Structure formats: C-alpha cells, structure tokens
C-alpha cells in the first residue's frame, strides 16, 4: 500500500471510531469542531483531486459529510487515490491558485495535512490511534523544509515549543502551531 493510501486508511479508521456525541467537540484547530475537521479533510481531498486532474476546484461551503462522515471521507480518499494513480500525474508540474508544484509534492502536503488532522481528531476525541511513524517522519521532514519559506498566515499558527526527543507526530503538531500536549477544554456541567 502506498503512503497516501496508508495515511487515508489510518485516518479513515479513526473517523469511523468517533462517537456520536463527539462530533461537536472542540479540537486543537481552535475554530473547528470534530465535524469541521472531518469536513476539511473531505473537502481538501476533493481539492487535491481537482488539482491533480486539472479540473475546477469544488464549490466551497457545501456539506459533503451528510449523515455518514466516514463514508464521505472514504469516498473522497478513493477519488484522491484514483487521481494520484493516473500515469504521469506525480511528475507533472502544475500551477494552481495555491502555487506551482508537482503532483508528488502536492501529495506530500496532503499526507502531512491528513496526519496532523488525524492527531487533532485523536486529541479531541481521545480515540487511540497509531499514525505510521515512517509517514510522520517523512511529513515532518517535508513540512520542516517547505513551510519556513511560506506564509503561515491563515493556514498555520506559529511553531510551538517542544522537546527534540518528543514523538515525531507531536513535533509535527507543534511545528504546525498546536500546543502539545493539547489542553482539552473541560466539559461544562
């Protein structure tokens, strides 16, 4: 199984284990609930499909989750995998509204986003998940190399302090602006 498929599978399995009462829970993405994070993952999968297929970007503001967020995520992941599997797409350089990159570079960003938001969902729901260590290390290296040259405004908060020997997923989360450990909000009575 390739890296994208592995990342989508582990995040899809995590989404499947989210309890009915957890969809409105707060997440480390301060403006998003658990449902909002999953909606972002589905929407971004479809954005990357459009970029790889060089088709119009999907309409914003549409509820793509419906009554079955897990199925919506898995459908979007399948569509993304199909787009990534097209011959030559990973080598093609494209210029889109988010800049110029090859398909392979775009997929590295997609995998990093999936892993970081997988961490967000695990923090918010306390659903245990083991994100693939090799993918996390690759994502951390990729993001560490490419993010410093880009604006964080509107996409990432500033890097947060963390020990050099912390697990890679925690270092990736901190680098992308999350407090580690995440101080989950106290339930209100």
- The percent of residues in the chain predicted with pLDDT above 70, rounded, is 92
- Helices of type H across the chain: 3-16, 34-53, 69-84, 103-125, 133-146, 168-175
Q: What is the pLDDT of residue 155?
A: 61
pLDDT in tens, 68-107: 999 999 999 999 999 999 999 999 888 876 678 899 999 9
| Residues comprising the chain, all counted | 189
Q: What is the pLDDT of residue 34?
A: 97
Q: For the chain, which residues make up each domain, given as ranges?
A: 3-175
pTM: 0.91
Nearest to 94 by CA among 47, 142, 29, 151: 47
CATH architecture of 3-175: Up-down Bundle (1.20)
């Amino acid at each position: 199984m390739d890296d994208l498929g592995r990342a989508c599978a582990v995040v899809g399995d995590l989404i499947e284990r989210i309890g009915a009462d957890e969809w409105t829970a707060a997440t480390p993405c301060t403006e998003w609930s658990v449902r909002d994070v999953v909606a972002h993952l589905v929407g971004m999968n479809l954005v990357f499909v459009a970029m790889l297929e060089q088709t119009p970007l999907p309409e914003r503001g549409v509820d793509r989750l419906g009554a079955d967020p897990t199925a919506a995520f898995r459908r979007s992941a399948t569509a993304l995998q199909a787009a990534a599997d097209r011959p030559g797409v990973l080598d093609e350089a494209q210029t889109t509204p988010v800049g110029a990159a090859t398909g392979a570079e775009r997929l590295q960003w997609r995998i990093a986003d999936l892993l970081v938001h997988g961490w967000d969902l695990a923090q918010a729901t306390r659903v245990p998940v083991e994100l693939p260590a090799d993918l996390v290390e690759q994502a951390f290296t990729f993001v560490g190399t490419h993010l410093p040259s880009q604006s964080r405004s509107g996409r990432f908060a500033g890097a947060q302090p963390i020990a050099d020997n912390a697990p890679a997923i925690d270092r990736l989360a901190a680098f992308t602006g999350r407090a580690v450990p995440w101080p989950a909000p106290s339930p209100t009575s």
